[in-house]
Amino acid sequence: MTDYSPLLLSLKVAGISTFFVFIFGVFFAHLFSRKKFFGKSIIESLFMLPLVLPPTVVGFGLLILFGKNGFIGSWLLNWFDFQVVFTWIGAVIASIVVSFPLMYQSAAAAFESLDARMENAARTMGASNWRVFWTISFRLAWPGLLAGLVLSFARGLGEFGATLMLAGYIPGKTDTIPMAIYFAVESGQMEKATFWVVIIVALGFSTIMWLNWWSRRNIERYKNDNA
């Protein structure tokens, strides 16, 4: 009987990571799209760095940070007797770091392309900054935010390198689909590897198909206004 735990674990890891990535991505993208300050481009470059670095380098950095002697790792161990390395939480952290740039990039583009007059119009009508964000900026940027959310989820599902470095491969504990594929091939279980390849290709393909369909539909919706 097929063990579906890699699928469930992958969905759990990608889901939790996407939740955090979405919140932080939207927060920083909105903040940075409206403010100019010294060092902004340096911070933005740091945000985007995981996109261009090899995942093993990201994983190495996380291992240094979250390892027993690492800055965060030793603090977690001392205060909470908790270790991230070789746990599924490690996979979530790796997934957050590698998918954050995709969310940030999509959200920043969405907020920057917003017509500032919409927000200004809301302000002149007495709306608080939070209300302007929630009822105007967020709603109008939603297509871009959703694109970032879906891409981050897909990236989280496919994350391998950094996850392997931080969470390792422990069957039943940290074996996400990409891990299951790699170790199935390594141990000559081609049938098992093929099964998981088909599953992850189907998930990725349907995600992109849906995103394209949804984006087109959304562009059509307000196209007269944006013309």
Partner 1 sequence: MLEVQIKKKLPHFLVDINLTVEDEILVLVGPSGSGKTTILNAIAGLDHPDDGRITLNGNIFFCDNEKPLPTQQRNIGYLFQDYALFPHMTVEKNIAYGVKKMNAIEAEKRIERLVNTLGINHLLSKYPHQISGGEKQRVALARALATEPSLLLLDEPLSALDSRTRLECQEELQRLHATWKTPFIIVTHDMQEAEKLGDKIIFLESGLITKTVDNRSGKMIC
Where does this chain bind partner 1 (CB under 8 A)?
A: 115, 117-118, 120-128, 135-136, 139-140, 222-226
Which is nearer to partner 1, 135 or 194 (by Cβ)? 135
- 25 vs 104: CA distance, rounded Å: 5
* Burial annotation 121-152 (CB, 10 A radius, 16+ → b, else e): ebeeeebeeeebbeebbbebbebbbbbbbbbb
Nearer to partner 1, 12 or 123 (CB): 123
Query: Residue written as tokens 């297509």?
Result: 143
Beta carbon of residue 136, minimum distance to partner 1 (angstroms, whole number):
6
Q: How far is the CB of 148 from partner 1 (least distance, A)?
A: 19
Q: What's the min distance (Å) between Cβ of 58 and partner 1? A: 37
Is the CB of 123 or the CB of 173 nearer to partner 1? 123
Q: Rounded to an integer, what distance in angstroms lies between the CA atom of residue 179 and that of residue 171?
A: 9
CB-CB contact of 204 with 132 (8 Å): no
CB of 91 to partner 1, least distance (A): 37
For partner 1, the closer of residues 33 and 152 by Cβ is 33
**Spatial CA neighbour of 90 closest among 71, 108, 66, 110:** 66
In the complex, least distance from residue 217 CB atom to partner 1, rounded to whole angstroms = 14
Q: Give me the residue label for tokens 């920043």.
A: 108
Nearer to partner 1 among residue 37 and residue 80 (C-beta)? 37
Structure tokens at 221: 């919706």
